[in-house]
């Protein structure tokens, strides 16, 4: 007896352990299978693409362009036949496309009619820190915030979204998102498609999960390392949209406004397109690509040619990041989605060909750097070993100077890095010179696990020792969990 009792106990432990492990394995296998989303070939494309209204505001007696933006609650048909409670700007879901010109002074009149405090940030904009709309600029319910600045950067497709610390994911998921187009004379002089809503179209892509009752699921799927991942895509808030193309080429301003999903955009027939602009504006020349990878927050402008009467479908395809196994599966990297059907009319108005040269970018010069600083992303919530602290300034830069930032992903999870106030130049990625889509002005760049990049940043003239700008991972769950740091720019 005395020798058999421990044996029996050991056998019981082994039996329970195998039972638990078998249970877990089954559970993990089911979760693995259910983690795959694929909508390709399944969508009816029966809804015309919603195009956000243009909103240029009014010019007051002092020549200031004043733009009223009211953050509101509402409802929207995100998926056919169901009403979903959403948030929006000047409407129930998403916001208008704000448009202003380089050289203009603008003033945003942002009124918060939402039930909680939020902020509104102008992503990609170079502007004084007090106007940036980061976590230090809360707008309480009922209050109006009126930031003003001079638009002083090249033509670009920027965007706006809330940035309250710890709450950004949810506020973006609920729909407080819009595009902000900056125009300038240089871009106007180029023969590029520029008739808004006709041959120049915003394509704001978000993934959502809506339950059968119509409620937005704001949570993250099991094992997701990127936070919320939706199982349906919306373009400008439209599910399964089509767009009627009436010209031989069409310009799409792609914005990945998903909270955590990486999109590798391409067409179902693998047709190529011209990449003409990245986050901060036009490239030196168009680059012919057949895929464009955008992590959350990134933009790309592409020009696509169509033939009369044909149709082609923009897709989000599995990103080729060299990440396999569970990490890839549970981060949505095996998923495929149809995004938007382009339907060409049987007769198309002839567009001018895409110019062979675009703009001369006055890129930051690494030779002018006054210092190199490391930002190491660790786990899912830390930069250089620390979580975001609203009361700690992590870095101080001087106006008008150039710095090199070595940004490193030390973790096994995908991250990206977004820097407020500047458009940086990617000097290299893992020591290699950047691909075409990373050669232009950028404010956000993807960092696959264990990768690193060197960025060259030139700070502008907006000095403010007391209000910081943010640098953070734009996978919003990571940002909210603390993967964000603060820097000031001083005299
Ligand atoms: Cu798109 Cu710090 O933001
Ligand atoms: Cu930003
Ligand atoms: Cu991250």
- Ligand 2 centroid to Cα of residue 398, in Å, is 20
Q: What is the CB < 6 Å shell around ligand 1?
A: 121, 123, 161, 163, 297, 418, 420, 470, 472, 474
Q: Percent of the chain scored above 90 by pLDDT? A: 91
Say if strands 402-409 and 369-378 run parallel, antiparallel, or are unpaired: parallel
**Contact predicate 291/435, CB 8 Å:** no
What is 366-490's CATH topology? Immunoglobulin-like (2.60.40)
Spell out the domain ranges in the chain: 48-185, 200-349, 366-490
Tokens of residue 401, six digits = 């100077």
Distance CA 364, CA 367 (A): 9
Under CATH, which number does the domain 200-349 receive? 2.60.40.420
444 bridge partner residues: 418
Name 467's Cβ contacts closer than 8 Å, sequence gap at least 6: 128, 129, 130, 132, 136, 488
Distance CA 167, CA 212 (A): 25
For the segment 163-198, what is each residue's pLDDT rounded down to a tens digit? 999 999 999 999 999 999 999 999 999 999 999 999
- Ligand 1 centroid to Cα of residue 352, in Å, is 35
**Residue 1, pLDDT score:** 47
Tokens of residue 59, six digits = 């010019």
Residue ID of nearest Cα to ligand 1 atom 3: 123
**Residue 7, pLDDT score:** 77
pLDDT surpasses 60 at 228 = yes
pLDDT surpasses 90 at 359 = yes
Say if strands 444-447 and 395-398 run parallel, antiparallel, or are unpaired: unpaired
For the segment 237-262, what is each residue's pLDDT rounded down to a tens digit? 999 999 999 999 999 999 999 999 99
For the segment 32-72, what is each residue's pLDDT rounded down to a tens digit? 777 789 999 999 999 999 999 999 999 999 999 999 999 99
Which residues sit with Cβ closer than 5 angstroms to ligand 2, an ion? 123, 420
Overall average pLDDT of the 466-485 stretch: 98
Nearest ligand to the C-alpha atom of residue 477: 3
pLDDT-derived band at 21, boundaries 50, 70, 90: confident
**Contact predicate 161/120, CB 8 Å:** yes
Overall average pLDDT of the 124-138 stretch: 98
For the segment 420-454, what is each residue's pLDDT rounded down to a tens digit? 999 999 999 999 999 999 999 999 999 999 999 99
Distance CA 110, CA 130 (A): 14
Tokens of residue 490, six digits = 């001083």
Q: Give the SS3 label for residue 418.
A: strand
Q: Which CATH architecture has domain 48-185?
A: Sandwich (2.60)
Q: What is the mean pLDDT of the chain?
A: 96
For the segment 79-121, what is each residue's pLDDT rounded down to a tens digit? 999 999 999 999 999 999 999 999 999 999 999 999 999 999 9
Q: What is the DSSP string of 79-129?
A: STT--EEEEEESSSSB--EEEEETT-EEEEEEEE-SSS-B--EEET----G
* Residue 268 to residues 40, 136, 237, 251, 261, Cα–Cα distance (Å): 9, 43, 22, 18, 20
């Amino acid at each position: 007896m005395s020798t058999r009792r421990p044996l029996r106990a050991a056998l019981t432990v082994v039996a329970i352990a195998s039972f638990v492990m078998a249970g877990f394995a089954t559970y993990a296998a089911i979760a693995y299978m259910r983690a795959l989303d694929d909508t390709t070939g399944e969508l009816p494309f029966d809804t015309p693409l919603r195009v956000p209204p243009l909103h240029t505001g009014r010019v007051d007696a002092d020549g200031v362009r004043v733009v009223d933006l009211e953050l509101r609650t509402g409802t929207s048909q995100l998926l056919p036949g169901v009403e979903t409670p959403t948030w929006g700007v000047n409407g129930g879901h998403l916001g208008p496309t704000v448009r202003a010109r380089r050289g203009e002074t603008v003033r945003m009149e942002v009124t918060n009619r939402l039930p909680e405090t939020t902020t509104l940030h102008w992503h990609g904009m170079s502007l004084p820190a007090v106007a940036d709309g980061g976590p230090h600029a809360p707008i309480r319910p009922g209050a109006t915030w009126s930031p003003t600045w001079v638009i002083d950067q090249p033509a670009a497709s920027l965007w706006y979204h809330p940035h309250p610390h710890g709450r950004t994911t949810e506020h973006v998921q609920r729909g407080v998102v819009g595009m902000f187009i900056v125009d300038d004379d240089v871009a106007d002089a180029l023969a590029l498609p520029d008739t808004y809503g006709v041959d120049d179209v915003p394509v704001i892509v978000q993934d959502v999960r809506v339950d059968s009752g119509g409620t937005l699921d704001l949570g993250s799927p099991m094992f997701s390392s990127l936070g919320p991942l939706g199982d349906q895509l919306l373009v400008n808030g439209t599910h399964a949209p089509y767009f009627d193309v009436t010209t031989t080429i069409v310009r799409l301003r792609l914005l990945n406004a998903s909270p955590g999903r990486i999109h590798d955009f391409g067409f179902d027939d693998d047709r190529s397109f011209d990449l003409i602009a990245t986050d901060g504006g036009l490239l030196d020349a168009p680059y012919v690509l057949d895929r464009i990878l955008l992590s959350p927050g990134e933009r790309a402008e592409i020009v696509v040619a169509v033939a009369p009467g044909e149709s082609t479908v923009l897709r989000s395809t599995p990103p080729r990041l060299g990440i396999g196994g569970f990490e890839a599966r549970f981060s949505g990297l095996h998923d495929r989605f149809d995004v938007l059907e382009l339907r060409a009319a049987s007769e198309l108005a002839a567009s001018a060909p895409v110019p062979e040269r675009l703009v001369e970018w006055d890129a930051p010069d690494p030779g002018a750097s006054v210092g190199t600083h490391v930002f190491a992303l660790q786990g899912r919530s830390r930069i250089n070993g620390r979580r975001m602290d609203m009361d700690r300034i992590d870095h101080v830069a001087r106006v008008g100077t150039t710095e090199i930032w070595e940004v490193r992903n030390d973790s096994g999870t995908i991250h990206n890095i977004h820097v407020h106030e500047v458009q940086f130049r990617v000097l290299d990625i893992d020591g290699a010179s950047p691909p075409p889509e990373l050669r232009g002005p950028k404010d956000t760049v993807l960092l696959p696990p264990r990768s690193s990049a060197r960025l060259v940043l030139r700070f502008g003239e907006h000095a403010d020792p007391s209000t910081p700008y943010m640098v953070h991972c734009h996978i919003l769950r990571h940002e909210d969990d603390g993967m964000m740091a603060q820097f000031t720019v001083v005299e």
